[in-house]
Amino acid sequence: MNAASQPAQDPWAELRQTTQARIGLGRAGNSLPSRRVLEFKAAHSAARDAVHEPLDVADLTQQISDLGSESALHVSSRAGSRGEYLRRPDLGRQPADLAHLPDTGADVGIVLADGLSPRALIDHGRGLLAALIDELGPRFSIAPPVIATQARVALGDHIGEALGAQTVIVIIGERPGLSVADSLGIYLTHLPRPGRSDADRNCISNIHPPDGLDYSTAAAITAALVVGARTLGRSGVALKDTSRAQLTEGGTGVVDHPVVTADTVE
């Protein structure tokens, strides 16, 4: 075969190895190649399924039953169905009933919330919770984990206050995209209570190994934020995670002891 008859090398092939974004899709006449159209439809279906599939609370409870923590508790929001949850975000921020939650006075409360991707919680909830317990357990008292359904992030403020936890960590399924449908986020709020705003929280997102942030790194960053929040007396915009800077300065690719600093601006 001479050079003129050999298939042209795909100039996008190497770049595709570095991103999950859809780049260099090609063309077939005036349209996309059938393969790319089918890939898009499959990803869109996976994202829709991730949003609408209800969380199997019994399955998740069983998954985390051997982690050495107390038995998981269950809380639901005031959204009575998945459809109402999607139409009424405000109801997802309000608890239906918290009377059964104990006032533990714990240093840390952990909430596992279905959010907009219950699938993410099933895929990664146990692994991330185990990493958090390993990281936080030796230093802080941890309340029994709480599984929250039809939940938005702010539901954790009510749960954290009911538990008497000084800091609440909400593990929640993130909004699915066309590249990732099972990503988790962590939202940390110090001194949780109803009425806290997003400015009072710190977020760690894109947790979905092997392609996203791994459990141990997410847990190490979270632990550093807990220490920083307790030192500063608050979380949110005043609390800064500087652990990623260590990656570029040290060049090791490993964060052994993340450092958190606070803004001096009031």
- CATH code, domain carrying 196: 3.40.50.11240
Q: What is the pLDDT of residue 4?
A: 53
Structure tokens at 231: 């030192």
Is the model's pLDDT at 260 over the cut of 60?
Answer: no
In-domain check, residue 123: yes
Q: What is the pLDDT of residue 17?
A: 75
Res 48: pLDDT: 83
pLDDT tens-digit readout, 51-77: 888 899 999 999 998 886 678 999 999
Whether residue 219 lies inside any domain: the answer is no
Structural domain contains residue 23? no
Which pLDDT does position 34 carry in this prediction?
84
Is residue 203 a known part of a binding site? yes
- Give domain status of residue 155, yes or no: yes
Cis amide linkage into residue 210, ω under 30° from 0: yes
DSSP E strand stretches across the chain: 73-76, 108-113, 146-149, 167-173, 184-190, 201-207, 239-241, 260-262
pLDDT number for residue 11: 78
Between these two residues, 20 and 54, which has the higher pLDDT value? 54
Residue 192, pLDDT above cutoff 90: yes
Q: What confidence category does residue 179 fall into, taking pLDDT thresholds of 50, 70 and 90?
A: confident
Across 13-17, 116-120, 256-260, least confident range: 256-260
Q: Residue 133's pLDDT is what?
A: 95
Q: What is the mean pLDDT of residues 127-154?
A: 96
Is residue 154 a contact partner of residue 161, using CB atoms and an 8 Å limit? no
pLDDT given for residue 44 in this prediction: 81
* Alpha carbon distance 258, 247 (integer Å): 10
Taking 50 as the threshold, does the pLDDT of residue 180 lie above it? yes
- Alpha carbon 7 to chain centroid, angstroms: 43
153 is in an annotated binding site: yes
Domain assignment of residue 103, given as a range: 55-129+137-213
pLDDT in tens, 69-108: 678 999 999 999 999 999 999 999 999 999 999 999 999 9
6 pLDDT tier (thresholds 50, 70, 90): low
Tell me if 174 is assigned to a ligand binding site. yes
Does residue 91 sit within a domain? yes
Q: What are the backbone angles phi and psi of residue 184, rounded to the nearest 5°?
A: -105, 150
pLDDT of the residue at 30: 83
Q: Does residue 229 lie in a domain region?
A: no
Structurally, the chain folds into a number of domains equal to: 1
Q: What mean pLDDT comes out for the span 161-185?
A: 93
pLDDT band at 245 (very low <50, low <70, confident <90, very high): low
User: Would you say residue 26 lies in a domain?
Assistant: no
Q: Residue 155: is its pLDDT beyond 80?
A: yes
- Quickly state the pLDDT bin for 266 (edges 50, 70, 90): very low
Report percent pLDDT > 70 for the chain. 87
Report if residue 205 sits inside a domain. Answer: yes
For 47, phi then psi, to 5°, come to -65, -45
**pLDDT higher at 254 or 231:** 231
What confidence score (pLDDT) does residue 252 get? 36
Please give the share of the chain, as a percent, with pLDDT higher than 90: 63
